[in-house]
Amino acid sequence: MSKAPPLLQINQLQRLMIGPVSLAVEEGDCLCISGPSGSGKSLLLRAIADLDTHTGEACLRGVAASNIPAETWRRRVGLLPPESVWWLPRVGDHFRGELPVTLEHIGLTAAVMAQPVAQLSSGEKQRLALMRLLSNHPEVLLLDEPTANLDPENTRRIEAVITEYRRVQRAVIIWVSHDQTQIARVADRYYAVSDGTLEERTIEGRQWLN
């Protein structure tokens, strides 16, 4: 019997200055990417989520994106942008699916759903944006500097939710981060963007933690 295809496979993906990028990521793996601003990290995530035209192809469990309806693909391959966006008056209006992780995990209660979005702090918005994305139960999570503008407390909560989700759902995580200590905490593999391609690096500070 042949081996099952990896959960996420990226073949020769290319968009503007980034690529071609090829990767295979197995269930439950967390892969971190860093690189200078303008190096195309966000563009790579957008291309994987199929939000921009690109060459090459991403496959989910061996099925190419082009064979999956776009909205289904984006529900299964969820992208969390650095700044959360809200368009309806109340928090709860933005949620449809069931939450895979309880709101207590992010230090909030169900009462937050009735609150106007305007009353949230930026930390709360980012935590809730993550929950909103997780309510789609994505198999792949693309995180674009999810904690870049957050204090250590909010950062810790976001990391805890992602770790929990990854453990329970066996999801693939692709995490763009500048923070070497964060990368040491969460990554299984670490890549740096260099000249438009991904170069695998050793995770600094990992030996300390172990």
Partner 1 sequence: MVELSTTDLAIAAVLVLLLALLSIRLRSNISQQLIIAATRTAVQLTLIGLVLKLLFAHANLGWVMLMALIMLLVAGREVMVRQERRFTGWWGYAVGTISMFLSSFAVAVFALVVILGEDPWYTPQYAIPLLGMLLGNTMTGIAIAMDRLTQTAWEQRAVIEARLMLGERWEAAISDYRRQAIRSGMIPIINAMAAAGIVSLPGMMTGQILAGAAPVEAVKYQILIMFLITTGTGLGTLAAVSIGSKHLFDERQRLCLDRLRQP
Contact residues: partner 1, CB under 8 A: 49-53, 66, 70-72, 74-75, 78-79, 81, 83-85, 87, 132-133, 136
Q: Which is nearer to partner 1, 63 or 70 (CB)?
A: 70
Q: How far is the CB of 141 from partner 1 (least distance, A)?
A: 12
Q: Which is nearer to partner 1, 17 or 70 (CB)?
A: 70
CB of 15 to partner 1, least distance (A): 12
The least CB distance from residue 200 to partner 1, in Å, is 27
Least spacing, CB of residue 45 vs partner 1, in Å? 10
- Cβ distance to partner 1 smaller for residue 68 or 184: 68
Per the CB < 8 A criterion, the answer to whether 47 and 41 are in contact is no
Q: Residue 11 and residue 8: Cα distance in Å, rounded?
A: 10
| Residue with smaller CB distance to partner 1, 6 or 78 | 78
Measured from the CB atom, the residue of 52 and 188 that comes closer to partner 1 is: 52
Query: Least separation, in Å, of the C-beta of 2 and partner 1?
Result: 30
